[in-house]
Amino acid sequence: MDGYDLSDEERELAGLVRQFADEVVAPQAYEADRTKTLSMDVVAQMGELGLFGLPFPEEYGGQGGDYFALGLAIEALGRVDQSIAITLEAGVSLGAMPVFRFGTEEQKRELLPDLLAGRALAGFGLTEPEAGSDAGATRTTARLEAGEWVIDGAKQFITNSGTPITRFVTVTAVTGEQGGRKEISTIIVPNRTPGFTVEAPYDKVGWHASDTHPLTFRGARVPEANLLGERGRGFAGFLHILDEGRIAIAALSTGAAEGCLEAAVDYARQRTVFGEALSTRQSIQFVLARMRQRVHLARLAWHHAARLRDAGKPFKTEAALAKLTASDAAMDNARDATQIFGGNGFMNEYAVARHYRDSKILEIGEGTNEVQLLVVARALGVA
């Protein structure tokens, strides 16, 4: 990461996680992908390194760092295994961050220490079969009855919702009406709550070792005190969380784009075609140069958005630009790397093949790239 204006501490962190990624994460990535198994041992080691607590205050068990530090860690992991990288990203951005941002002091003291130490994970249930970015389409409901929220509905594509250490999910639900519009609140639902079912995992195109499930709620009851944040502000709060999450996804995407570049450069140097290394062909050199360009621009974009966020400045548009730029870079680099690898690029034991499958979701998750374009257009005053 030379030339990217990092502090000595940030360089040390990036190097530490990169070494962990190369020595611990990468060797297990193919088998984890093949068996569709999230390694809880790797998760535990990430917890021991303090990665889940990077952007949180020490008083709750965090590392006292910032979102930029989290991005550095996610990028380093995304280079070798996107499933592990998204486990960290979702564990922080969607699991712990809502509690830190909107929870009561009691909720923070109770829930954050285990989440920040990697001893527990949590999911965030926003997306439904008929609703995602469209809050008005939310159908999951929660009504107060005898001091308890009674929840009915369904959520889908929920990351970290069914691991052995998943402690709870936070779900958005319609809790009434405000001015003729649905009042949407967020409620903490512990795992093993009667009426709450974590359904069988998805058979996904990529991110095979990432834990992802649909959820159903049939009269699930939790205490009224499990409301997270202000009643009726659930979706608004989540939008802020989503803006931060887009920076993290941009960092993950940058790591994936760099992983594809590194693999393609190594392969082009080693692969002999008609008596010459593939890398001697100008057509290949130009492809690799374009790949390097994408990595550079993607990294600059997420760095800028993260620095703005950590400085307390507006960053919504920059987060959208970073997510848009970096996810496109990951998908484009995965395609080019796969082409350079030829037939080997179609074999799952090669990282570029897994990146090719994995990277598509980066253009969809945390708000589709079309949503990012809409955010940017609104900032321009034309939407």
Percentage with pLDDT > 70 across the chain: 98
214 in the same domain as 129: yes
Region for residue 192 given its phi and psi (left: phi exceeds 0; alpha: psi -120 to 50; beta: otherwise) = left
- Examine the pLDDT at 143 and tell me if it is beyond 80: yes
Task: Determine the average pLDDT of the residues in 80-90.
Answer: 98
Do 369 and 287 share a structural domain? yes
For residues 274 and 351, state if they share a domain: yes
Q: What is the pLDDT of residue 200?
A: 97
Within 8 A by CB and 6+ apart from 52, the residues are 46, 88, 91, 92, 96, 115, 116, 117, 118
Number of domains in the chain: 3
The token pair that represents 291 in the structure block = 């790949």
Q: What is the mean pLDDT of residues 361-375?
A: 94
| Residue where a domain terminates, one of 120, 146, 169 | 120
Q: Domain end: 90, 120, 150, which one?
A: 120
User: Catalytic amino acids?
Assistant: 366
Pair (100, 127) in one structural domain: no
pLDDT at residue 379 is higher than 70: yes
Does 292 share its domain with 368? yes
pLDDT of residue 133: 67
pLDDT averaged over the chain?
95
Give the range among 14-18, 176-180, 275-279, 328-332 with minimum mean pLDDT. Answer: 176-180
Q: Which of 209, 266, 212 is nearest to 77 (CA)?
A: 209
Residues 221 and 268 in one domain: no
Question: Token pair for residue 183?
Answer: 């009042």
| Least confident segment among 96-110, 171-185, 301-315 | 171-185
Asked if residue 85 and residue 151 are part of one domain, the reply reads no
* 198 or 238, greater pLDDT: 198
My answer on whether 173 and 298 are in the same domain is no
Residue 313 is part of a domain; what is its CATH number? 1.20.140.10
Long-range contacts of 39-46 (CB under 8 A, 24+ apart): 39/84, 39/209, 40/163, 40/164, 40/165, 42/84, 43/87, 43/118, 43/121, 43/163, 43/165, 44/118, 45/20, 46/20, 46/84, 46/88, 46/118
User: What pLDDT does 1 receive?
Assistant: 67
Residue 295 — pLDDT band, cuts 50, 70, 90? very high
Residue 2 placed within a domain: no
- The pLDDT tens digits for 194-215 are 999 999 999 999 999 999 999 9
The verdict on residue 196 lying in a domain is yes
Residue 335: per-residue pLDDT:
98
Domain final residue pick, 86, 120, 154? 120
pTM of the model: 0.95
**Structure confidence at residue 237 as a pLDDT band (50, 70, 90):** confident
The mean pLDDT value for 145-162 works out to 97
pLDDT for 3 beyond 90: no
State the Cα–Cα distance between residues 239 and 200, nearest whole angstrom: 28
Question: With 90 as the cut, is the pLDDT of residue 131 above it?
Answer: no
1 inside domain: no
Interval 111-137 mean pLDDT = 89
pLDDT at residue 101 in the model: 94
Kindly state whether residues 154 and 282 are assigned to the same domain. Answer: no
Predicted confidence band at 180 (pLDDT cuts at 50, 70, 90)? confident
* Per-residue pLDDT at 135: 66
Q: Which residues constitute the domain of residue 129?
A: 122-232
What's the rounded Cα separation, in Å, for the pair 82 and 58? 28
Same domain, 29 and 77: yes
Closest C-alpha to 301, from 333, 330, 279, 332: 330
The share of the chain scoring above pLDDT 90, in percent, equals 90
3: in domain? no
The verdict on residue 194 lying in a domain is: yes
Residue type (1 letter), 206: G
Amino acid letter for position 167:
R
Nearest one of 88, 78, 86 to 256, comparing CA atoms: 78
